[in-house]
Structures are given as C-alpha cells and as structure tokens.
Chains A and B, each alone.
Chain A
C-alpha cells in the first residue's frame, strides 16, 4: 500500500540545537516533496519544495534533503529558536498527479529555551 510517514509525532530539543525531522514514503514515485509549518488553529504555511532530481535545498536556517533511493526526506532547522515550535508537515506530489498532495501526519516540534 502507499504510505507517507513522519517518524516522530513529537520532537523536543534545546534552543540553539539542530532539529531534524524525517519523512519516509513507500510505493510512490514523487514528482516533488514539500514541507509546511502549521501553528495551532492556523492553516499550513509552505516552507520548501524539493524535486525528484534534487538532493538538497536550503532557505535561511532551513535545509531539506531528498533521497529517492531511501525514499526519504530530511528537514533540518539549524540554530533552533522557541519561535520554531510548531507542527511540521511533509507532503508529496505523486508522479502524474494533477496537484493532489499527500500529507504526512506531522511532527510537533518543541524548542525549549
């Protein structure tokens, strides 16, 4: 069956450390993967997109990697801050899809001062 999984429901880290979130998928051939941030009571907000032919993308303190052999994407937040505390969602676009994103359940990140 097709699945997209974010390994941790919750991740607690200390301010200043690097947070690493994992997204694994099975039986998909994604055109790309995306990462979103969701704060309580709000809609998801887009952060980064990485395509199937890309290994790594960076944006300020954020870095995403994509390994199509391992069927895995890693999302890193360096020098984490309490303001980074939120739920982070990964989403993939299956190859051939018209735009129907498949979402993981999310990882709730808490950054302690």
Chain B
C-alpha cells in the first residue's frame, strides 16, 4: 500500500516555465488537496477536490490549476512559474469529506525552486 505518492521530489524552474506536480493515492479516498508550506506561514490550502470531476479553490489558488479526472490522481499545474511560488508542496488525501474524516494522509512533498 503506497499511500500518497508525489513526484518529483525536487524541481528547479525558470520564471515563466510551466510544470505539473503529480499526486496519486491508492486508498480510494474521496477528498484530495494541495498545500504549500513556507517558513513562518504554516500549511496553506491551494486547491481541493471532494471527488472525481469536482475541484475548488482554497486559500491561495492564484497561479495554480488542478483537475481530478480519476479518484486516484490529483495533479497540480503551475501555469507560469514565479519566484513567489518557491515553496514545498504537499498533496494530501482523506477517506471521506467533511466531519466524517478521521485523518489526512500526506505525500513526501515536492521542493520547488523558481529562479
């Protein structure tokens, strides 16, 4: 049981480049989300999904797109990378939505640097 798998682990981008951070879970979880973690800021929600075909914005969605075509996969796209998007990105999944949830399972993170 792999849990939540994120790729790549490290990435360096030039300003203006685009890329996709991959996230896959093999636990048949309904809820998936993307967070970014910056020093002194804590984890902040970028986008989330409550099921295949359903996505919505979190606290800091600007500059990012997501899609959820299957239950397993929830990729995060950076449209035109900016230095302000330098951060550590975490994908997480939870079995259910809302208060029925018990815990979030996190991936190992992607450390992104935009130069």
Check A100–B33 contact: CB distance below 8 A: yes
Check A41–B45 contact: CB distance below 8 A: no
What are the interface flags for A69-111 relative to B under an 8 Å C-beta threshold, 1 for contact and 0 otherwise?
0000000000000000000010101011111111111100000
Number of interface residues of B (CB under 8 A): 29
Which residue of B50, B58, B109 contacts A42 across the interface (Cβ within 8 Å)? B109
Which residue of A32, A36, A43, A99 contacts B50 across the interface (Cβ within 8 Å)? A99
| B53 CB contacts on chain A under 8 angstroms | none
| A42 CB contacts on chain B under 8 angstroms | 108-109
A31 to B98, CA, bound (A): 9
Interface check A34, CB cutoff 8 A:
yes
A28 to B94, CA, bound (A): 21
| A41 CB contacts on chain B under 8 angstroms | 109
Contact A105-B41, Cβ < 8 Å, known A49-B102, A49-B103, A97-B98 = yes
Check B103–A34 contact: CB distance below 8 A: yes
6 contacts between A and B (CB under 8 A): A34-B104, A42-B108, A49-B103, A95-B99, A99-B48, A102-B45
Interface residues of B (CB under 8 A from A): 4, 31, 33, 35, 40-45, 48, 50, 58, 90, 92, 94, 96-99, 101-109
Beyond contacts A89-B42, A100-B45: 16 other A-B pairs, Cβ-Cβ < 8 A, are A34-B104, A42-B109, A43-B92, A43-B109, A49-B102, A91-B43, A93-B99, A93-B101, A98-B50, A99-B96, A100-B33, A100-B58, A101-B45, A101-B104, A103-B35, A103-B44
